[in-house]
Structures are given as C-alpha cells and as structure tokens.
Chains A and B, each alone.
Chain A
C-alpha cells in the first residue's frame, strides 16, 4: 500500500471515529440556513430569491468550523513532526488531508442541502444548480481553509484568527458560487468556479506544507 493511500485511510478513520463532528457540522449548516427566515421574515418569494446566498454563506461558515481538526490535533500530539519525517513529501500528506477534509465536511453538507432547499422555498431548477455549484466550489473553500489552518497552526489561539485570513480569499468562491446559481451568465460563473477550485486545490497543498514546515522549524 502506498504512503498516500495509507495517509488517506488514516485520516478517514480518524475523522470518522469522532463521528459526532460530521453530525455537528451538518447541524450547524442547517441551523445557519434555518435562522435566516427568522431574521428576514417568512416571505417565500424573498427567501427563494436569497436562498442561494444563504446556502453558500452557511456552507462557508460550516467549512470554517471544521478547519480546527485539519492540522491542530496532529500538531498538538506531535504527529505532524513525525509526518514531516516521512518519505512522502509533506505536500502529499497535506493533499491527503485536504481530500479527506473535503469528503467528511463538504459531502455531508451537499447531502443536507435538500433540507435547506425545502426550508428556503427553492424551486427545483435552482436547487439543481445549487448542488452543482456547491460540489464545484467547496473544494476551493476547503483549499483556502487549509492554507489558513496551516498558517495559524502554531498559534495558540489560531482558531480565532484563521477565519479572518480565509474570508477575503474566499470572496471569489462566494461570488462565482452564487453567480453560477442566480446570474444570467451562470455558465461563465460555473466555469470560473471550476477553474478557481482547480487552481486552489493545486496550490493549497504546497502553500500549506510550506507554512507548516516554516512554523515548525
């Protein structure tokens, strides 16, 4: 078994072992979406109009919430130091972590999106587009989040500062994510979103690995 596959399995087992985490994220995602009607009123046409934005904001916040477990536990118990000694380059290890992070935090959100779609009075067409845009855009959110988590991993109160760093980087994801659902140029926005995800996923393992190895020197 190659080192990369072993790393994937290790990460997957570790994240599923504390099974409550996944459920918490999904609950958080639904709750953020569900409190918006209390703030803006239960007007169905208004809700349907802003639903794509709400779903994206909820997904963005939920992805932020899951970032703490990406590198911090391994940093605290010293596993990160050991992993840096591995034959596998650190960027590959980070890539494995990123893939698993996406699987255990973004995929459950995708599965929970129908609930929000019903609550927010989405029609079938925009629901389908929302699913596609979330599937295409969450890798970019996970990648930018991984960079933010890696930069702050050696700071004791890093969980507080990471969202401040990640949010500006995530603005294009939100713009093209929501744009691919609602805008008249949704085709172009979908392509931009996919390009952004590809670029972020390609860049993030190297940037995050560099940040981690610099922080631990």
Chain B
C-alpha cells in the first residue's frame, strides 16, 4: 500500500519547477511582443508627429519620452530584483534566483540609457552634459550597483550558491539606495543652491502626458518581455550546466 505522498501543489509551488514555469509562460511571450511593438509604434508616432513642443523646453521635451521611462525602469527593475531576492531568501523559490539573475543586466542597460538621455537632455537645457545634481548622481550610483551585481554573478562558479549570497547583497543595496539618494540630494543642494531644472516641476499638459504614458508602458512591457525571455534562457543554461557536469563525470553508473 502506498500512502498518498504526492504533496498538494498550488500554482506557486508548481511555478517552482523550472520546466513548468517555462511551459506556462511561453504562450505569453508572443502576445507580449506584439503588445510592446504596438505600444512603441504608437509612442513614436505621438512623440514625433502628434505632440506639441513645450512652451518652456521647446522640442527637447521629446527627449523626455525616452528618458523618463528609462529612469522609471532603472528603479522598477531594482524593485523586481529585491522582491526576487526576498523570494530566494525566504521561500528558496528557484524561479526567484533566475529572475534576479536575468534582471540585473537589463537594469544596468536601462539605467545607462537613462543617464545617456539625461545627458543629452541636459546639454541644451543646462548647457552641460553632466551636472552633479541629485538625480543624475544617484542614478550613476545605481548604475554602479547594477554593474557590481552583474560582476558578482559572473564571479561565482556555483550559480545556486551565488543566488542566495547575491540576494543578501541586493537587499542591502535596496536598503541603501534611499540613503544614497538622500545623501546625494543633501550634498548637491549644498554645493549648488540655485534650483536646477526639474522634469516633474511644472505641470504637464495632456498633450505631453499621453505620449509619455504610452512610452512608459511600451518600455515597461519591453522589460517584461526581455526579462521573461532571459529567464527562459537562464533555465536552459542551468540545465546545460547540469548536463555538462553529468557528462564530465562519465554519466551515472
């Protein structure tokens, strides 16, 4: 007689099986790709053909449509990584490891793009590519943290062990980012008391808000698609590593 040893699985536990996760989320991929593409086409059309210039900033306001979504993603991706880090540490959820690893390079690129567009926006607006103001400086620090995390992932041989260690560091970073932001704000107002241009300062008319929202969702969905795809790849990479180890040991006896 065999007792019922099969544990009852809810969706959360079933997601813990990497194969199941890939099988379940693969059908989502193409609809998300199409949605992202449509949003981008719409966003570019709004940005270049159907939005007025700002009375204050002129046409440079159009840089905002790519700058603000990237700046948002730079923080959103870190939030995703922090939640995944909690998933790794508290529930030891295997997909949380994979999500953390897949998100780090994406976050680094979006942060770099936020800095790049910010610099190109700063040149006509402030007259300089780089200003040590609170926002740009803390974004730069965030980029350094992302790059540190990417480097950390690459430095570990054993990815399963790496996940828990990196989760600890990710959460330490998450606690520190508000402190860094606060200290950098304090520091920059100290050194240049003159008020700098703030993107969210003046109230924006609908004609600017609509393209901004479309681009915001386009970039967010782009991240979701790429994150999902990178997670699938990471699942396969782990399978590759397991197989390689097994083959190197000459196969099971």
Asked whether A179 lies within 8 Å of B187 as measured between CB atoms, the reply is: yes
**Known A-B contacts A154-B165, A207-B168, A214-B161; A164 and B89 likewise in contact (beta carbons under 8 Å):** no
**Known A-B contacts A147-B172, A167-B144, A169-B176; A175 and B165 likewise in contact (beta carbons under 8 Å):** no
Q: Which of B167, B168, B175, B184 has the most C-beta atoms of chain A within 10 angstroms of its own C-beta? A: B168
Residue-wise, chain A 184-217 has the 8 Å CB interface mask toward B (1 for contact) of: 1100010010001001000100010011001101
User: In the complex, A187 Cα to B175 Cα: how many Å?
Assistant: 24
Residue-wise, chain A 149-187 has the 8 Å CB interface mask toward B (1 for contact) of: 001101101100100110111011001100100011100
- Closest CB of chain B to A169's CB: distance in Å? 5
- Closest CB of chain A to B163's CB: distance in Å? 8
User: In the complex, A165 Cα to B148 Cα: how many Å?
Assistant: 5
Partner pick for B169 among A155, A165, A171, CB 8 A cutoff: A165
User: In the complex, A201 Cα to B161 Cα: how many Å?
Assistant: 25
User: In the complex, A108 Cα to B151 Cα: how many Å?
Assistant: 32
Asked whether A169 lies within 8 Å of B173 as measured between CB atoms, the reply is: yes
User: In the complex, A210 Cα to B156 Cα: how many Å?
Assistant: 17
Partner pick for B190 among A154, A161, A169, A185, CB 8 A cutoff: A185
Partner pick for A217 among B141, B151, B164, CB 8 A cutoff: B164
Asked whether A152 lies within 8 Å of B190 as measured between CB atoms, the reply is: no
Query: Which residues of A have CB within 8 Å of B186?
Result: 175-176, 179, 189, 192
- Closest CB of chain A to B133's CB: distance in Å? 14
- Chain B: residues with Cβ within 8 Å of the partner, total of 30
B145 beta carbon closer than 8 Å to chain A: yes
Asked whether B155 lies within 8 Å of A158 as measured between CB atoms, the reply is: yes
B207 beta carbon closer than 8 Å to chain A: no
**Known A-B contacts A147-B172, A151-B152, A155-B156; A171 and B165 likewise in contact (beta carbons under 8 Å):** no
**Known A-B contacts A161-B152, A161-B155, A214-B165; A172 and B183 likewise in contact (beta carbons under 8 Å):** yes
B15 beta carbon closer than 8 Å to chain A: no
Query: Which residues of B have CB within 8 Å of A189?
Result: 186
Chain A contact residues, majority secondary structure: helix
Chain B contact residues, majority secondary structure: helix
**Known A-B contacts A158-B155, A168-B141, A168-B148; A203 and B172 likewise in contact (beta carbons under 8 Å):** yes
Asked whether B169 lies within 8 Å of A211 as measured between CB atoms, the reply is: yes
B226 beta carbon closer than 8 Å to chain A: no
Asked whether A168 lies within 8 Å of B144 as measured between CB atoms, the reply is: yes
Asked whether A168 lies within 8 Å of B151 as measured between CB atoms, the reply is: no
- Closest CB of chain A to B157's CB: distance in Å? 8
B180 beta carbon closer than 8 Å to chain A: yes
B241 beta carbon closer than 8 Å to chain A: no
Asked whether A175 lies within 8 Å of B184 as measured between CB atoms, the reply is: yes
**Known A-B contacts A168-B180, A171-B183, A214-B165; A207 and B172 likewise in contact (beta carbons under 8 Å):** yes
User: In the complex, A60 Cα to B166 Cα: how many Å?
Assistant: 23
User: In the complex, A216 Cα to B156 Cα: how many Å?
Assistant: 13
- Closest CB of chain A to B178's CB: distance in Å? 10
Asked whether A215 lies within 8 Å of B165 as measured between CB atoms, the reply is: yes
Query: Which residues of A have CB within 8 Å of B175?
Result: 203
Query: Which residues of B have CB within 8 Å of A165?
Result: 148, 152, 169
Residue-wise, chain B 74-101 has the 8 Å CB interface mask toward A (1 for contact) of: 0000000000000001000000000000
Query: Which residues of A are interface residues toward B (Cβ below 8 A)?
Result: 147, 151-152, 154-155, 157-158, 161, 164-165, 167-169, 171-172, 175-176, 179, 183-185, 189, 192, 196, 199, 203, 207, 210-211, 214-215, 217
Query: Which residues of B are interface residues toward A (Cβ below 8 A)?
Result: 89, 141, 144-145, 147-148, 151-152, 155-156, 161, 164-169, 171-173, 175-176, 179-180, 182-184, 186-187, 190
Given contacts A168-B173, A168-B176, A214-B164, list 11 more A-B pairs with CB under 8 A.
Answer: A152-B152, A154-B156, A168-B144, A169-B173, A172-B179, A172-B184, A175-B183, A184-B190, A192-B186, A210-B89, A214-B161
Which 6 pairs across A and B sit closest by C-beta, in order of nearness? Answer: A214-B164, A172-B183, A211-B168, A168-B144, A175-B183, A175-B187
